[in-house]
Chains A and B, each alone.
Chain A
Amino acid sequence: MQVAQQAAPVAIQNPQLLARLRQDLGDRLLAEQQTCDGIPTLWVDRVHLKDLLRTLKDDSSPRFEMLFDVTAIDERLRTHRQGQPASEFTVVYHLMSFSGNCDFRIKVPLQDADLSLPSVIELWSSANWYERETWDMFGIKFEGHPNLTRIVLPPTWKGHALRKEHPARATEMEPFSLDDEQTAIEQEALLFKPEDWGMQRKSDTSEFMFLNLGPNHPSVHGAFRIALQLDGEIVVDSVPDIGYHHRGAEKMGERQSWHTFIPYTDRIDYLGGVMNNLPYVMAVEQMAGIIVPPRAQTIRVMLAEMFRLCSHLLFYGTFAQDVGQLSPIFYMFVERERIFNIIESICGARMHPGWFRIGGVAQDLPNGWETRIKELLDFMPERLDDYDGMVLNNGILKRRTQGIGVYNTEQAFDWGVTGAGLRATGLEWDFRKQRPYSGYENFDFDVPIAVNGDCYDRCAIRVEEMRQSLRIIKQCMDNMPGGHYKSDHPLTTPPRREKTLQDIETLINHFLSVSWGPVIPPSEATVAIEATKGINSYYLVSDGSTNSYRTRIRTPSFAHLQMIPAISNGFMVADLVAIIASIDFVMADVDR
């Protein structure tokens, strides 16, 4: 098999800041790691972690306003760790700067015997769930965390699922059985005790009612539960409970080959379709050093924008439905159906085509693909104007959603809010503009923003984004480049047809890439995109094998749900429903 050449090293972001930190940290800096995504990666000991994070958050230039992600890597079986400090479990902090438009990664080495490090909740509120998830998955303790309990797995779960010793398939475990004793334990764990949720039973003036909204409720958009502490209809406190849709997608990412994990990504944000493939394949391509031909890039953009339309249409309809408007959802489904028909004629599947490949897309566009897109472009704008009249300009809807669930840019950073929820606070920040990927720099489109940061604004932004998506699709159609739909790179999986079956060399290449799958050179990469619901990123670690050593999927909805109590306490139940609707999440995207 041909051995892939190493990826061209990407220029490291922010050399000045890095040089200053090197000087400041001195021997507290354990190591500096080169990753192929150009994100500066520093290793520090846990005792210095909080100081460094505080410096980066408050007094560095640029400031890193957002804790984008916290996760861990079980390093015990990993090979190819040249230049990295000894570590059995590494906790990874990913910071993001919006003022400086750059990232920063900090790694903390830990030993299995002593898995603990300080919690950073006092720096970022969003750390709460991320640290809980890391504890849930790896058993790493965060000292000072107020509520370090399981978050996505059930409270009775044994073990920590993302540790390497934990099996990835049910068939590798004991057959499941539930005897009476175990049933009693499970039932006991399900009992609702308000004190465990940080709620009081009564105040001086009233006795509270606890309402269990979900996990099966018409307006929680999937299997999602919020425990509500109500005083009449006023929400005194609310605690979101997630995990009902957890499928262990990250574990699957470590089990499947690089190629065969692609269809799983479609189901992460199940309304985003192939847009989920994009950050994953781009991360793999970055590690493999594959340059994707322009035609493939443009096809990817076109399909991703179609899925953005589909997802936003569904959001728009359900948003109106959740404030009690019956009809819009049906109109939106008509539109969505049209787009799915186009997607089906291109990809062969509707909601989850799994159509992007490492190095390009699965097939070239079919003959006559422009005709149906042209129909859509003629049809949609007028309908969107109709919907404005029906939904956005409706007086009752405005009164239901304006001034409800308000937060500002600072709060959005604190909670890790990205996407339309961030732009509704007045910050013009779109990944497609700020850090163009897959050729977005060639497109002419605007980034809509709003200033109030309430439910209404979040909806209005998405509506305008649909118009911009239509512009992008039109430009794709008008300027579709010629050339190949897949790269010539040997790690492209599977290779293009004419690159197979020529001689013994191409035959073996083809055979290996289909049977084993490609071997991606040892490296690490984070690639983020502006997905339908916010910034979605894949952090992949390869140790030179046919599958990923660690697949971290950072989804926007996870962070957004964590914010619900902060913006809805004090409002009424009906407002909470409007807030939930305006966030635009799907539970598969939260739980993974």
Chain B
Amino acid sequence: MFVLEVGSVLTIGLILAVVIVVAAMLIWVERRLLSFWQERLGPNRVGWFGLLQVVADMIKIFTKEDWIPPFADRFSFVIAPAIIMSVVLLSFAVIPFAPNIGVVDSNVGVLFILAMASLGAYSVMLGGLSSDNKYALLGSLRAAAQMVSYEVFMGISLLGVVALSGSFNLRVIVEAQADGWYVIPQFAGFVIFLIAGIAESHRLPFDIPEAEQEICSGYHTEYSGMKFGMFFVAEYIGLVLVSSLITVLFFGGWLGPSFLPPIIWFAIKSSMFIAFFILLRAAIPRPRYDQLMNYGWLFLLPVSLLNLLVTGAIILSTQ
């Protein structure tokens, strides 16, 4: 029960703790990295290099008044942030961090992740609708359209990997990459998954549901205190999740030369993608809502279908 193996209480507890702490630390990391790239300092006052800023923020956000607007629909208003928080955390259940670290060894891991991503859309929709605020409504409209569309391309872009490895099990997918990472045969799939992943976690340049300059904060305009905090932290957990998934699906997960333990390889690879996402946020402007939709349906969808077709053809011809 208290050994480090897949499914033990110790492992589950550790994963939960580490994921949440990492996500919270990411707030600080992102702020420091952004300011580093933007010729400023960022939070550097609290603790060593401002590391305790996260603690200060958390204390602030926990002690804030937990306010529900009188015009909001109470039940869905409260449940919305809880949904997003639980679905992103649940998604981590199937992530294979290392041969001996993980929550479950599921043979439908990929499908589970996609299912959780679809549920995430409800949170954003409910949050916006229940707020009874026009900006929130616009935000949740945009979010619903964006998430539902990008799930399609996300799913199709993964199928190439599934076809190559012959399994929905993420552990099998990692082990199948011992001879070579899937990023090479599945480069198109990787790029589409990356784009869809950003869209799913709605970060800049795909932060259209919460585009501050247009619709204030979009679907979470009316949220404050810890409910807002949950949306906020869930976004960072989502970022970790997408980075972990890219590592697992396309970059060989924990696989790497043996001078470092597998979990470290996993962490290094994931951190690279996290940093990439932050850099992307610093660099790129936001497309318009309809441009994003057109881009998805008219470009990403054909390309991902073509990718699947070609992968299938190659597999068939080499069998």
Contact = CB atoms under 8 A, between A and B. Distances in A.
Interface in A51-102: none
Given A217-B216, A331-B39, A573-B215, A326 B288 contact: no
Q: What are the nearest 10 A-B pairs in CB distance?
A: A324-B286, A330-B38, A325-B285, A219-B213, A324-B285, A574-B288, A322-B213, A323-B285, A396-B285, A327-B282
B169 to A, nearest CB: 38
Nearest to B134: A211
A233 B138 contact: yes
A397 interface: yes
Contacts of B138: 211, 233, 573
A219 B287 CA distance: 16
A573 B289 CA distance: 10
A327 B283 contact: yes
Given A233-B138, A324-B213, A573-B138, 18 more contacts: A211-B134, A211-B135, A219-B213, A219-B214, A320-B285, A323-B213, A324-B211, A324-B285, A324-B286, A324-B287, A326-B204, A327-B282, A327-B283, A331-B38, A396-B205, A400-B285, A574-B211, A574-B288
Interface in B145-172: none
A334 interface: yes
Given A324-B285, A325-B285, A326-B34, A399 B291 contact: yes
A575 interface: yes
Contacts of A574: 211, 214, 288-289
Interface string B265-296: 00000000000000001111111111100000
Contacts of B187: none
Nearest to B135: A211
Contact of A233 (B204, B286, B289): B289
Nearest to A217: B216
A212 B135 CA distance: 9
12 contacts: A211-B134, A211-B138, A324-B204, A324-B211, A324-B285, A325-B284, A326-B34, A326-B204, A326-B282, A330-B39, A331-B39, A396-B285
Contacts of A396: 205, 284-287
Interface string A391-414: 000101101100000000000000
B57 interface: no
Contacts of B37: 327
Contacts of A436: none
B212 interface: yes
Contacts of A219: 213-214
B112 to A, nearest CB: 33
Contacts of B282: 326-327
Nearest to A331: B39
A399 B285 CA distance: 10
Contacts of A572: 288-290
A483 interface: no
Contacts of A212: 134
B110 to A, nearest CB: 31
A322 B286 CA distance: 9
Given A396-B205, A396-B285, A218 B212 contact: yes
A321 B212 CA distance: 10
A568 B256 CA distance: 55
Nearest to A335: B39
A325 B205 CA distance: 8
B40 interface: yes
A326 B286 CA distance: 9
A21 interface: no
A577 B214 contact: yes
A93 to B, nearest CB: 38
Contacts of A577: 213-214
A326 B284 CA distance: 8
B29 to A, nearest CB: 16
A334 B289 contact: no
Given A324-B213, A326-B282, A396-B205, A575 B39 contact: no
Interface residues of A, number: 29
A209 interface: yes
Nearest to B34: A326
A338 to B, nearest CB: 12
Nearest to A323: B285
B298 to A, nearest CB: 14
A394 B280 CA distance: 13
Contacts of B34: 326-327
Nearest to B285: A325
A322 B37 CA distance: 19
Interface in A291-341: 320-327, 330-331, 334
Interface in A224-247: 233
Interface string B90-109: 00000000000000000000
A293 B215 CA distance: 52
Contacts of A394: 284-285
Contacts of B212: 218
Interface string B199-218: 00000110100011111100
B211 A326 contact: no
B287 A400 contact: yes
Looking at B38, B135, B213, B286, the one whose CB has the most chain A CB atoms below 10 A away is: B213
A575 B134 contact: no
B214 A573 contact: yes
B285 A209 contact: no
Contact of B40 (A209, A320, A330, A573): A330
Contacts of A322: 213
B155 to A, nearest CB: 25
Interface in A373-398: 390, 394, 396-397
Interface string A208-225: 010110000111000000
Contacts of B290: 572
A33 to B, nearest CB: 49
Contacts of A326: 34, 38, 204, 281-282
Nearest to A326: B282
Contacts of A575: 288
Contacts of A323: 213, 285-286
A322 B205 CA distance: 13
A212 B215 CA distance: 11
A454 to B, nearest CB: 14
Looking at B134, B215, B284, B288, the one whose CB has the most chain A CB atoms below 10 A away is: B288
A447 B156 CA distance: 53
Nearest to B212: A218
Contacts of A209: 134
B184 to A, nearest CB: 27
Nearest to A572: B288
Contacts of A211: 134-135, 138
Nearest to B211: A324
Contacts of B134: 209, 211-212
Nearest to A390: B283
Given A326-B281, A326-B282, A399 B287 contact: yes
A331 B283 CA distance: 12
A327 B38 contact: yes
A320 to B, nearest CB: 7
A390 B38 CA distance: 13
A112 to B, nearest CB: 46
A533 B133 CA distance: 35
Interface in B1-51: 34, 37-40
Nearest to B217: A218
B84 to A, nearest CB: 22
A326 B35 CA distance: 11
Nearest to A574: B288
Interface string B109-146: 00000000000000000000000001100100000000
A370 to B, nearest CB: 26
Nearest to A211: B134
Nearest to B291: A399
